[in-house]
Structures are given as C-alpha cells and as structure tokens.
Amino acid sequence: MRPRRFGDARGWFMETYSEASALAMGIDVRFVQDNQSFSAAEGTVRGLHFQRPPHAQAKLVRCVRGSIMDYAVDLRRGSQTYGQYVSAKLTAEGGEQLFVPVGFAHGFVTLEANVEIAYKVSDIYAPECDGGILWNDPTIGIEWPLPTLGAILSDKDKALPTLAVFDSPFDYDGKSLVPLVAPGPGDF
C-alpha cells in the first residue's frame, strides 16, 4: 500500500491511515497502539516476530527514515501458503506500507544506516505471548539483502526456533496470501 501524497513547494502531506480506506481494501482491524523502532546499522535484522493469542497482533508497518526490506510469513495452520512469505521494500521517501495480518510472522532488514520504523498494532504488547521463527530458516527461504559484513541480530532472534519444530497457534481464516504488487495512484 502506498498512501497518496499531496505536495507543493513547501513539501508534502500524507494521510498515513484511514479506517474507511482500509475497510475498502478488506482490512477490518482496530489498531490500539503505535510503536516505533530505530536501527543504527545497515543489515540489522529484526524478526521474524509475532504474538500468540489471546494477544495476537496485526500490524501496519511503514518506514519513516531510511529504507528496509520487509517480510510477512504465513503461519496459519491449514493454509496452502503455510511457511511462504511476501515482501516489500519500504522507504521513507516513497511512503509505502505493509499490512501484516494476524497469523503472520513479521521481520525486516535495514538497507542503510539510521533507519526508523513506525507501525500500528491491533493488540497490546504482551510479553507472555511473544514468539518468533528463526530469521534464516532454510524451509522459508528468505534471501535477505545483507551487506558484506552480514546480519546484525539480537541474541533473542538468533535463538528462535525453526518452522519445522514450531507448533502454530494460528488457524487458517480462508483468506489467501496476497502477493504484493506496485500500488497505483490513489491507493490507500
């Protein structure tokens, strides 16, 4: 998704979220919290994260400084696309956004230094529901665009389980994994 920007000589204005526009796109989610993260180095990987029920979260992610490659991995039991992912390059300059539904793990890698991400979530942070899948799980097969020095990860992210040993708490909701396409003018 790319919210439309209205610009003039002073700069630009952008509506980053509209409930009516989201509903028109089939996104029926109530957001309850906004989060922001900063990553100092290029090649910082955060993810692949999710929250289990009863505090599972949908996310609407955007990059407010710099650029990232963003990923959402399907973790819904019974889904034909279980373990598959979609990705999108999100840039502050372009204003792109990625919606990550409940039942998907989320992760990103910074494509430059000094990157800030802002995202809305549909439920509170609940540490007891925190979970994740190993970022470089070969079963998923994400080809992360990493700098020569490799990935920068937290100790927590290095120790996450693989998909093979993961017991998913998410059920398939009948909605297909939608590949990301280039948005047109006036898209949300």
Determine, yes or no, domain membership for 169: no
- Give the closest residue to 92 by CA, choosing from 2, 31, 188: 2
45 within a domain of the structure (yes/no): yes
- Could you check whether the bond before residue 48 is cis, i.e. omega within 30 degrees of 0? yes
In a domain, 115, yes or no: yes
* Residue 27 token pair: 């996104």
Please give the span between the terminal C-alpha atoms of the chain, in angstroms, as a whole number. 6
- Residue 100 has a pLDDT of 94
Q: pLDDT value at position 186?
A: 42
- Domain span at 132: 13-161
Considering the domain boundaries, does residue 177 fall inside one? no
Positive or negative torsion for Cα 30, 82, 43, 97: negative
Catalytic (active-site) positions: 49, 119
Is residue 173 in some structural domain? no
C-alpha torsion angle, residues 49, 98, 136, 122 (rounded to 10): 10
Is-contact 68 46, C-beta < 8 A? no
Mean pLDDT by 10 residues, the chain (188 residues): 72 73 80 96 97 97 97 96 95 93 97 97 97 97 94 97 97 78 41
Question: Is residue 1 situated within a structural domain?
Answer: no
Measured CA to CA in angstroms, residue 47 lies from 11, 74, 161, 187 at distances of 33, 14, 12, 27
**Quick one: pLDDT at residue 174?**
87
pLDDT score of 11: 77
The answer to whether position 166 is within a domain reads no
- Provide the pLDDT for residue 179: 61
69 inside domain: yes
The label of the residue with tokens 């990157």 reads 115
Tally of structural domains, the chain: 1
Q: Is the separation of the CB atoms in 89 and 68 below 8 Å? A: yes
pLDDT of res. 188: 37
Burial of 24 by CB count in 10 Å (0-12 exposed, 13-18 middle, 19+ buried)?
Answer: exposed
Burial environment of residue 150 by CB neighbours within 10 A (0 to 12, 13 to 18, 19 or more): exposed
